[in-house]
Structure formats: C-alpha cells, structure tokens
Chains A and B, each alone.
Chain A
C-alpha cells in the first residue's frame, strides 16, 4: 500500500504541463507474501517492484494513448495462502480495478488466483513460482517471466548426468514447488541417473536428521535440495555436521551472498545450484542492476528482485502498446506479443504464456565466491557467478 501512496504523492507533486489536473494513476496489483515463513523471499520480490516503480515514475509514468500517467501499486499480502490469494485477486479486479496483476511467490496460491484473473479478464504476470502446470493449464490470462521447473532443471540434470553424480538423493518441500521440482527432475533424468532417496518436509520444519540418516543409508553421491534459503542453510549444516561428504546441489536461492552469510565458505565449497540470475556475472545488464540494487538496499541483488523488476517494466511496455488500461483483452494481447530485453535476459512468451529466460549453473568456490559452470560459453572464473 505504501508504494501506492508514494506514487500518488509523486504524481501530485510533479509538474504536469498542459494539464490542469494530474493524470489518473495506472493501478497495478501486486500479490506477494510480506509476513509468514516466506516474508524474506517476498522482500526481494517487493524490492524489484519498488525499483521498477521508481524507474517508471521518474520518467513520468507510462504513456498510454498519448498521455503520461504515473504508476501506483496496490500490494496485497497473501501469505502464500490459496484462499487469501483468490480473495486478493478478486479485490484487485473488482474494487481496485487493477489493469494487471503481478507477483506471487507460491505455486498453490497462483493456482487459486488464475481462475479469478480469467473470470475478471485481468492479465496476471507471475514472477517467482516455478510449478510448470501454472502456464500449461490453458489459461490465456496467465504469463510467467521466470523459468519453470523444467527449464531450471534441464541444465542441472544434464550436468549431473555428465559428471556422474548419481545415485542422487532429493530433499524437498512437501508442496507444489518441492514435489514439482523432484517430479520434473526425475522425468528429465529418466533411467540415466538412479535416485537413491527422496524425502519431503513441511514448510516450517527445521530438523533434517531423518533425511541425513536415510541419505547415508542409501549411499547417495549427491543431494539435491528443493527449498529456499532458510531450510537450505539448515539442511546443509546438518548434512555436513553429520559428516556426509556428498555433492550438494541447490536451487537459485542458494547462490547468493545472503546464503553464504547464513553458513560459511567451508560448508558451501563445491556446492552447485541452478540460477536464473547470477548477481556477480560479468554481463553488463546484470552488473548495472546489481550495482543499482546494492546502492539502494545495501545488499547483493537477487533473482526474485530481477524477475519482478522485469515483470513490471514489461507490463508497462505492454500497457503502452495496448494504449489502454481498461480493455483487458487488448492488454492481454499486447502482453502475449511481448519482446522485451530485461535484466534477466530476453523475454518473449510462448503460446502458453511462458518465457524462456537464460538458466545458469553456478558453483561455490573455496573462497566464498561463485563461478558460472554452465552453459559452457558463459563460464566464468571464481567471483563471476
């Protein structure tokens, strides 16, 4: 909500030559988690939206049908709850009259929100959840800027097979994200890599000792962790403290300086993870975003922030091309025709509304820096991942 007030205040203070009245702000809806177990991830998402909001309003907002209009965000904390997500979407569509809705962190919440978006003809741009069925369900009002489980796993799966890291073990969240990740990786690997153990845990659980014992018993060579930072740090600590020398393989949440701060280089050395946005990568677009993010938030940038930043920028681009904020169908068509060079890479949606941004595999070095190890053409030295 504070972003909405901020944008409106900016709009009122800004000079508006040629108009006796300030132009009406374009309202965009944000669904995220600002409290509860996923509040930390939600903060990254909101940081990305806040950066994009400022960038847009610094230029006077979005030019729609010849008029520049400031952007205002209506933010709802859905706590990743499907019921609260559906309710927030209903409110954004019917009360706030949002031209588009962006964000969300959890696949189950998205699954509840998308039918409401469709019923109200409001385009919905997902920026973090990865369950592949979210864009495969045939709902034309749903778009996703970030890579889905299949896209993320492909690079990692190929690397696992190439390096002979099987038999594999999985520890995953007992939800759509975790189970979807495991399912997708198992389907990708097929018979080429043996899975020795799969264990699930509920969000909020912190004791991984049962998984440690089972992985040791199963004789796995590598362990894939489908979870975010907090349980990831706990799982790694417990695996290493128990003396397991397995190859650790993580998700994009585990390739950041923040993650290193939760553990230390000793625990992470050699660990690899897929990554949609390696913040230390030498590419100019990533460097520029990371520098700007660091200057504002005093920490390394994060993939969730970059994805959310890009989503808001391309939403503005689509509204500009559609020339309307009230004709949902026109906005949807403009979004579907998106071809946008963002911070995370080039974004264009396929027939299911799914983008195909670049995916990397990064690895932790002994000195606590990271390097890109996949794709080979983008491989970097330690400190460049």
Chain B
C-alpha cells in the first residue's frame, strides 16, 4: 500500500504548474467578463460570481435533462449565462449606471437571491455533473490529470482568442472599445450605448457561465461555487490592471500559478496570504497594476 515519495521534487512543481494554470484559466475567464463590464460601463458587478454559479447549475441541468453530450451542455450554459446577463443589465444595472455604491448593494442582493434561489430549486446538496469521459485520467509518469483539465485549458484559450478577435475585428467589438474610451464621442459617431451595454453584459454573463460549466464536472455544483472565483477574479483584475482584458487574463493565470506553487513551500492555508502579498507588492511598484493605464477622468 505504501506509495514512494516522488523521485524528483521537480515533478511536484510540474504537477502544481498544471493545476495552477488550469485554475488560473478559470480565474482569467471570470476576470475578463468583469473587466468588460467595468471597462465599457464602469459597473462593478459583484453578482458575476452568481452567474458563474448559474452556469454550473445550467450545465448540470442540461446534462441531466437536455442532452448528455458535454459540448451541448456547455453551449446551453453559455447561452443561459448570456440571457442572464441581458436580464441583469436591463432590469438592474441600466438604472444604476452612474451610482457605484448602489451597484455594489444591488449586486450583493443579487448574490443572496441567486444562492437562495438555487437552494429552493435544486436543494441543499451539492450536485455532481456526471460525465465519466471527462473524468478519465491521463497518466504522465507519476502524474495524473483528468481529461477535464485539458478541456478547461482548451476552452478558455478558444474563448479568450475569440474574444480578442471579436473586440479587435468586429464592428460591435470596436463599438464596445469606443464606448469604453469615451461614451459621448461614441454617441457622436452613431453608436447606440444601450445596445452596446446590453451586449457587453450578455458577453460577460456568457463567459462567467462558461467558467462555471467548465469547473462543474471537475468539482461540484453548489450555491457558493462562485465565491472563490469572485475573490480571485477581482484580485486578477487589480493585479492585471483595471480595464485591461489582457491584464485580467495574465493576472488570473499568475494568481492560479502562484497559489498552486506556493503550497509546495508554505502551508496550504497560507496560499491566499502569498497571493495577496504579491498583489500588494505589485501595486506598490505599479499602482495601476501590471497592464493598467490611466482612465479618462481619473486623477
């Protein structure tokens, strides 16, 4: 029964690098969604974690009741997240666009409503997304990773690359970037802000729900599953620089990697301490984060 210690500590570093990049990719996906909304609308949506959680539940529902094919469930969840984003923008955040403190209060209220809503609908037990093919273990010497690890990395890479193409090549993406830089000037050239804002929220919701649907099969689906990504996603945004999509991506990956590797050298319960110490050190050197730039109107 005894299991030999790893021949090389380097293997532990590699194992944690893979785990860290995988979690970091999920944080990045989460952070990018928040950054889009903040960059375009100056809305800080703390309920983004609730949409992430909704993505997990939608994936479970799709696998159980719509189609057992995982890619179909991913699309279902992503579309569901986009719809939730649209509803949130239209019913809540459009009215609170200029009021940051009310945005925060509203999004905290939305978190409570969402978490207790799923408790009523799905019960208190955490749900397991049944996808045996995703659980298949791939062996690499002493190391073992599930297929889902690779699926997460691939899906996040595709999502981020698609977003980049959308923002840089499509008319709508360029309109979003224009609105994020100067809403009045965007209006002057014929961009309809309400439409841009609605699409931004839909896109943000889709990315959050995709994150929840990707993480669900690996771990569990439960009401609080968006809490940790919210904390780490916000940290990634600050680390990468508020308003920078690539900053959010790199911030998320850096946090995932750092917290995973830190556990090899410090007690596991100190990993958040390591992450936040690194964040503070970065902000002391670069107050706007790694890729942050001055925002118009800010001192």
**Contacts from A to B (Cβ < 8 Å):** 34-37, 39-40, 42-43, 174, 198-202, 204-207, 209-214, 216-222, 230, 233-234, 237, 241-247, 262
Contact = CB atoms under 8 A, between A and B. Distances in A.
Contacts of B3: 216, 219-221, 244-246
Given A205-B228, A234-B219, A243-B137, A214 B268 contact: yes
A198 B222 CA distance: 26
13 contacts: A199-B269, A201-B268, A204-B224, A209-B260, A210-B19, A212-B15, A214-B268, A220-B3, A221-B1, A230-B126, A233-B220, A243-B144, A245-B3
A200 B267 CA distance: 8
A311 to B, nearest CB: 21
Interface stretch (B5-13, B87-95, B160-168): B5-13
Given A204-B227, A206-B220, A35 B124 contact: yes
A219 B19 contact: no
B49 to A, nearest CB: 12
A213 B12 contact: yes
Given A213-B263, A214-B263, A204 B19 contact: no
A35 B116 CA distance: 8
**Secondary structure dominating the interface of A:** mixed
A234 B227 contact: no
Contacts, number: 112
B224 A37 contact: yes
Given A39-B119, A217-B9, A247-B1, A210 B269 contact: no
A210 B4 contact: no
Contact of A200 (B19, B124, B228, B268): B268
A216 B146 CA distance: 17
Contacts of B188: none
Given A218-B5, A230-B222, 4 more contacts: A34-B124, A35-B124, A210-B16, A213-B264
Contacts of B142: 216, 243
Contacts of B260: 209-210
B125 A40 contact: yes
Contacts of A205: 228
B269 A202 contact: yes
Interface string B113-136: 000100100001110100000010
Top 5 nearest A-B pairs by Cβ distance? A39-B124, A219-B5, A210-B263, A209-B19, A206-B219
A43 B12 CA distance: 40
B45 to A, nearest CB: 21
Greatest chain A CB density within 10 A among B5, B16, B146, B267 is at B5
Given A213-B15, A217-B6, A243-B142, A207 B23 contact: yes
Interface string B139-162: 100111010000000000000000
A300 to B, nearest CB: 14
Interface of B: 1-6, 9, 12, 15-16, 19, 23, 116, 119, 124-126, 128, 135, 137, 139, 142-144, 146, 219-220, 222-225, 227-228, 260, 263-264, 267-269, 271
Nearest to B19: A209
B132 to A, nearest CB: 10
Contacts of B267: 198-200
A221 B12 contact: no
B5 A207 contact: no
A209 B2 CA distance: 20
A376 to B, nearest CB: 22
B268 A211 contact: yes
A174 B269 contact: yes
Contacts of B23: 207
B218 to A, nearest CB: 8
Contact of A221 (B2, B128, B222, B225): B2
B6 A216 contact: yes
A249 to B, nearest CB: 12
A36 B224 contact: yes
B16 A246 contact: no
A315 B223 CA distance: 35
A219 B5 CA distance: 4
B144 A242 contact: yes
A281 B210 CA distance: 45
Nearest to B271: A210
Contacts of B116: 35
Contact of B15 (A198, A209, A233): A209
A204 B219 CA distance: 11
B5 A200 contact: no
Contacts of A202: 269
A202 B273 CA distance: 13
A254 to B, nearest CB: 15
Contact of B269 (A36, A37, A201): A201
A357 B228 CA distance: 38
Greatest chain B CB density within 10 A among A204, A220, A246 is at A204
Nearest to B16: A213
A245 B144 CA distance: 12
Contact of B119 (A35, A219, A221, A244): A35
Contacts of B146: 241
Contacts of A230: 125-126, 220, 222
